[in-house]
Amino acid sequence: MTERVEYDEFGLFHENAAEFGLPFDRPPVVRRVFAEVGDGRRLSALVWQDRDPELVLLHGGAQNAHTWDTVAMALDRPLVAIDLPGHGHSDGPGDRPAGPLDPHGNAADVAVAVRALAPAARAVVGMSLGGLTAIALAAQAPDLVRKLVLVDVLPGIRAQRARHITDFVNGPPSFPSLDDLLERTAQFNPARSRSSLRRGILHNAEQQPDGSWVWRWARHRLPAAPAGAVPADAARYESLWEALSSVTVPVLLARGMRPDSVLDDDGERELRRRLPDAEVVHVGEAGHSLQGDTPLELAAIIERFVFGRAGHA
């Protein structure tokens, strides 16, 4: 008989706290909710605390809302972390040609969810695909974006900078066991702890009746263009430079400085040319996924930029 792996999505927060030295007197108050976005589709989200949300967090491609868990715990503020269309527990993107990788279509859905769940949020924070979606959201629904935090992403990412991500995402459609999935994930994330990677897998994959494992987002993979955190034809996002140039609210870019970041100096210079007042913060110990590599530092950056005071890090 195939061994079933027990999973309680709200039962792992003590691991986040222990790994990063956060206080843990009791589990945080977190609940999963759903917002109707039209055509019978729903977006899922994690709502932290019972007060009006102050932040909206958007994850990267092939991730889910739980990628922000440690950041959310470090911030200790009411917030909403949304599963993008086709990710986590959210429904797929409908009949959009670009599927779940379309920032403009994602933004239209996210706008509906934000109006329902966090209409007065003081900032939108987006990583990778979530950051591109946040840029599109600022153009489509500027009243919902009062400050914008981009986590290791800008429009026009060069495909070669994201090759390590697409190679990982475009892997096998299923895995015989959790250990097999963990081994592959560890190969592409050598700087992360095994416990952190296992926790992320449990949040982002499902065990099938035969005991195998499938990524949650894989059910919406596009046959002609497999899904990735940053697609190979990333040049199609160049138009988002114009959307970003039109943003009038404060903008901050948190850029990982390890080689596995998808950004380079040219992209940063283009941001500074278009938005001279934008703030850029370099995080030396982080790669592309700052929320996983250096969550306390990222939480401190968000806290200072959005709320004007130092955070936990």
Active site residues: 128, 152, 288
Dmax (CA) for the chain in angstroms is: 61
What is the Cα gyration radius of the chain? Answer: 18
From CA 272, how far away is CA 239, in angstroms rounded? 17
From CA 82, how far away is CA 306, in angstroms rounded? 19
Tokens of 10: 């709200």
Tokens of 274: 């278009």
Q: Are 134 and 65 in contact (CB under 8 A)?
A: no
The amino acid present at 299, given as its one-letter code, is A
Which uninterrupted H or E stretch holds 164? helix 163-169
Determine the 3-state secondary structure of 119 from DSSP: coil
Tokens of 184: 């592959």
Tokens of 282: 């370099």
